[in-house]
Amino acid sequence: MTNRLTIRQPDDWHLHLRDGVMMESVVGVTAQHFCRAIIMPNLVPPVVSEADARAYAARIEQAYRKASSSVGTANTATFTPLMTLYLTDQTDPAEVVSAYGNGVIKAVKLYPAGATTNSASGVTSIDNVMPVLEAMAENNIVLCIHGEITRTSVDIFDREKVFIDEVLGPLRQRLPELRIVLEHVTTEHGVDFIQAQSKNTAATITPHHLMLNRNHMLVGGIRPHYYCLPILKRAAHQKKLVAAATGGDPRFFLGTDSAPHTASTKESACGCAGVFNAPNTMSVLAHVFEAVQALDKLEGFASEHGANFYQLPLNNRTMSLVKQNTPVQHAEQIQVGAEHVVVFDPGEPLYWSVESVN
Ligand code: NCD
Ligand code: ZN
């Protein structure tokens, strides 16, 4: 029986670090395991300019240094935030090209207006951003998409499919050279769409969508800490995602979508969407991959496919994971000032844990 696994150090291709005291509380957890992360720009106000992205990167760096020094970690690994800009109807193509050319950003994020947390300034119609997308295609800049339609008449469980049919499919045809990542794919339809493309199209997958389906969230009581967007789907979709993640296809890679909200804002009559999974992502992934006898595919999914798609070098460090006979105890929450954030509960005992990063 395999009880130890060493892989190239992973990266997180979709991460919410927030800002201020929240960021100071969560950044260290990601930096402990991941070498790099694509940082989502949905702050309030959003990260829309090169100057915003520069300033946010500097705050992340500062928070990361503070976090490392406060735990007195001997781990000298560095953490590199890969910044993104938040696309709006007003985004100037020149701003995006300059931010990318100056090495400040690695991608641009498209939120349909109103689709998710802090997306009010998002895009109202693809036509409004075509000049930006054309400039991105010309300059080889990756577009990350939150793929959900926001029309109120569309059922929340169908929003990814309708977005693909109405927006992503046509965009894919209109701009074949644009490199697109469909973020946090959650449906069979989404996986099929990615696999049907001949080039320039990939998707991230979250640990929680691999581990859970909507029954986990809704049967026997409603579990607000499982509420995220795109919402958990039925078990058949979960199965398809597991097959995509564990199948070795380079078009699928890890994006945790770790999205911390304080417990009080989630355990509410109108709770926020987001799962905070950064602390146990690697344990969850090893569990999921082992369950389908695909531990040999974990390195590709977590540590190689994303870097290759983003055309970035692979990490040199390695991560060792070990499997114990008894369940791993992860902290159930982390403190954020006077409040706390609840850590993702995978719903099953986990036996794998990260032993070291070297
Ligand atoms: C994210 C957040 O809280 O910022 N929430 C979530 O449920 N995933 C936003 C997002 O990625 O949709
Ligand atoms: Zn997200």
Residue 357 belongs to what H/E stretch?
A: strand 352-357
Q: In the sheet where 12-15 sits, what is the strand order? A: 12-15, 36-39, 80-86, 107-110, 142-145, 180-182, 201-205, 252-254
Which three-class secondary structure state does DSSP give residue 312?
coil
Amino acid in position 156: I
Beta pairing partners, 144: 109, 181
pTM: 0.97
Tokens of residue 103, six digits:
């090495």
Number of folded domains that form the chain:
1
Query: In the structure, which protein residues have their CB atom closer than 6 angstroms to any atom of ligand 1?
Result: 16, 42, 116-117, 146, 228-229, 257, 259, 273-274
Q: How far is the CA of 108 from the centre of ligand 2 (A)?
A: 13
Backbone angles phi, psi at 319, to 5 degrees: -120, 130
Name the catalytic one among 89, 257, 296, 345. Answer: 257
312: domain CATH number is 3.20.20.140
Beta pairing partners, 336: 339
Q: Atom 5 in ligand 1: which residue has the minimum CA distance?
A: 274
Q: Tell me the pLDDT of the chain (358 aa) as tens digits.
A: 679 999 999 999 999 999 999 999 999 999 999 999 999 999 999 999 999 999 999 999 999 999 888 765 545 568 999 999 999 999 999 999 999 999 999 999 999 999 998 999 999 999 999 999 999 999 999 999 999 999 999 999 999 999 999 999 999 999 999 999 999 999 999 999 999 999 999 999 999 999 999 999 999 999 999 999 999 999 999 999 999 999 999 999 999 999 999 999 999 999 999 999 999 999 999 999 999 999 999 999 999 999 999 999 999 999 999 999 999 998 999 999 999 999 999 999 999 999 999 9
Atom of ligand 1 nearest to the CA of 116: 12
Q: Looking at the CA of 230, name the nearest ligand.
A: 1
Q: Looking at the CA of 38, name the nearest ligand.
A: 2
Residues 6+ apart with CB under 8 A from 159: 115, 148, 149, 150, 230
Q: Looking at the CA of 257, name the nearest ligand.
A: 2
Backbone angles phi, psi at 146, to 5 degrees: -85, 105
Residue 64: the pLDDT is 95
- Output the CA angle 303-309-312, nearest 5 degrees: 70
Q: How far apart are CA 297 and CA 282, in angstroms?
A: 13
Q: How far is the CA of 117 from the centre of ligand 1 (A)?
A: 5
Atom of ligand 1 nearest to the CA of 119: 9
279: domain range? Answer: 4-357
Q: In the annotation, is 192 catalytic?
A: no
